[in-house]
Amino acid sequence: MFRFETAGESHGECLVATLTGLPAGIPISLDQIDRELWRRQQGFGRGGRMKIETDQVEIVAGVRHSKTIGSPIAIVIRNKDWKNWTESLPVEQIEDGDAKQKRVTRPRPGHADLAGAIKYNFQDARYILERASARETTARVAVGAIAKQFLAQFGCSVLSHVIAVGPVRLERAVTWAEIEALSHKPEVLLGCVEAGHESKMKEVVDEAYRTGDTIGGIFEVVAHNLPPGLGSHITWDSRLDGKLAQAIVSMQAVKGVEIGFAEEGSASFGSKVQDTIHYAKQQRHFFRGNNRAGGIEGGMTNGQDIRLRGFLKPISTLRRPLESVDLETRDPALAAYERSDVCVVPAAGVIGEAMVAIVLAAAFLEKFGGDSLIETKRNFEGYLQQVTDF
Ligand SMILES: Cc1cc2nc3c(=O)[nH]c(=O)nc-3n(C[C@H](O)[C@H](O)[C@H](O)COP(=O)(O)O)c2cc1C
């Protein structure tokens, strides 16, 4: 079974991940993983941390001579900031350790701080925020980059773009070619395919900087060139839409997910929402009048692109802090502030890509199996033939 786990604290030594269940023989490029890590760090509105870290992956197990060998893959990404935290987060207690801790006693509204401190019985929120931080998504993006390299073997790709930052929203549909062109740009501003909208988005982020505030938005992830039949209608937990929704909402600060035109569809008549079915007799294939379903019907891919959107709340740490309570005195106090991002919508899109790629890689392996890439490909090609002959 394909599965992954991550560990690591935001200011700890490193982030780690293990990834189990990929077949042997998949070509793996470290440069491609680093490129995804770089993309996660981009975007106008990022905080000082992104200037400190230039993430680079190390693979310490499961890949040899640039190919997977079928055994668990182990990944390490070192935190450059660790050198400033060795005495604050030591593994073993040190002399004067308590005094050297960087305590967080004024929990930030909107963060895991207060609920986590109560639940784990810590008198301050440091250990909670160290793990709740979206720094953890660095490990997810590295795993997702491997999943993407697996999917590429079958001609499938996953990318994202930004639809909205605050109130500025791109209302028109965006093509795969536009999203692909965006992904090759050497610089990332706000990840929107329309330059005019992107500069209006930048004005909103500028305002958040000026006023000590933060801003959220919407990203769209698109998975391209998928076969029909990934996922299944037969049980609640085999539905691909459910798995994708969990993967996206599990991302820090994502508060909602939309598959296809869910929001618009809920306000429309059925005749305007469903994607009509057609058949090209000469080419012998089915095609659809539109893709409002976002590529999934009955919990299965239908052969169209998957399109889903993640709704990101504004970052919880504010330079102009909100009201809170000091955990030591229980007196009213302003929430803690620690160097922080102001807008992360483009980065969230890249993390969303990783999560979608991971879910799709798992769905591929569930359907096609295989201990070696050759075996998986043989099963895949046999299925494609069956689809053509249908
Ligand atoms: C890419 C990314 C970067 C983030 N950076 C920060 C940050 O610098 N400061 C912060 O307070 N929250 C940041 N967040 C958001 C927090 O992780 C999130 O608000 C927090 O976990 C609470 O939200 P939750 O209830 O969804 O987990 C970031 C989120 C993402 C996706």
DSSP letters, 229-291, are T-S-SSSGGG-HHHHHHHHHHTSTTEEEEEESSHHHHTTS-GGGTS--EEEETTTTEEEES--
CB 73 less than 6 A from any atom of ligand 1: no
CB 315 less than 6 A from any atom of ligand 1: yes
Please tell me whether residue 170 adopts helix, strand or coil conformation: coil
CB 24 less than 6 A from any atom of ligand 1: no
Choose one of 9, 215, 341 to mutate for the ligand 1 pocket test, by most ligand atoms within 8 angstroms of C-beta. Answer: 341
What residues make up the domain containing 342?
Answer: 3-260+295-389
Cβ–Cβ contacts within 10 Å for residue 322, how many? 12
What is the CA angle 11-212-204, rounded to 5?
Answer: 105
CA-wise closest residue to 350 among 169, 148, 199? 148
φ/ψ of 105, rounded to 5, equals -105, -5
CATH number at residue 54: 3.60.150.10
CB 355 less than 6 A from any atom of ligand 1: no
Give start and end residues of each alpha helix (H) in the chain: 30-40, 49-52, 97-100, 113-120, 126-132, 137-152, 176-183, 195-211, 240-249, 262-265, 345-368, 373-389
d(CA 283, CA 205): 49
Cβ–Cβ contacts within 10 Å for residue 63, how many? 20
> Is the Cα torsion angle 86, 120, 337, 46 positive or negative in sign?
positive
Residue 78 lies in a domain: yes
Of ligand 1's listed atoms, the one at least distance from the Cα of 340 is 8
CB 89 less than 6 A from any atom of ligand 1: no
Residue 272 lies in a domain: no
Residue 282 lies in a domain: no
Q: Helices 345-368 and 30-40, interaxial angle, to 10°?
A: 140
Please tell me whether residue 241 adopts helix, strand or coil conformation: helix
CB 104 less than 6 A from any atom of ligand 1: no
User: Residues of the chain whose pLDDT is less than 70?
Assistant: none
Q: What's the structural domain count of the chain?
A: 1
From the CA of 365, how far away is ligand 1's center (Å)?
Answer: 31
> Is the Cα torsion angle 38, 39, 40, 44 positive or negative in sign?
positive
What is the CA angle 322-325-329, rounded to 5?
Answer: 150
- Can you give the pLDDT at residue 48? 75
What is the CA angle 50-56-58, rounded to 5?
Answer: 150
From the CA of 111, how far away is ligand 1's center (Å)?
Answer: 8
Structure tokens at 352: 């969303």
CB 129 less than 6 A from any atom of ligand 1: no
Of ligand 1's listed atoms, the one at least distance from the Cα of 132 is 21
Q: Whose CA is nearest to atom 19 of ligand 1?
A: 253
From the CA of 271, how far away is ligand 1's center (Å)?
Answer: 39
Q: Whose CA is nearest to atom 27 of ligand 1?
A: 252
Residue 270 lies in a domain: no
CB 188 less than 6 A from any atom of ligand 1: no
From the CA of 227, how far away is ligand 1's center (Å)?
Answer: 34
Chain mean position to CA 304: 21
CB 133 less than 6 A from any atom of ligand 1: yes
- Can you give the pLDDT at residue 53? 76
From the CA of 41, how far away is ligand 1's center (Å)?
Answer: 13
d(CA 390, CA 388): 6
d(CA 154, CA 369): 13
- The beta-carbon contacts of 172-176 under 8 Å, at least 24 apart in sequence, are 174/220, 176/222, 176/224, 176/305
Residue 281 lies in a domain: no
d(CA 145, CA 139): 10
H-run or E-run covering 107: none
Of ligand 1's listed atoms, the one at least distance from the Cα of 313 is 19
- Can you give the pLDDT at residue 257? 98
Residue 267 lies in a domain: no
Of ligand 1's listed atoms, the one at least distance from the Cα of 137 is 1
Strand partners, 152: none
Q: Whose CA is nearest to atom 12 of ligand 1?
A: 315
Straight-line distance from the first to the last Cα atom of the chain, in angstroms, rounded to the nearest whole number: 29
CB of 197 closer than 8 Å to CB of 380: no
Residue 280 lies in a domain: no
CB of 253 closer than 8 Å to CB of 315: yes
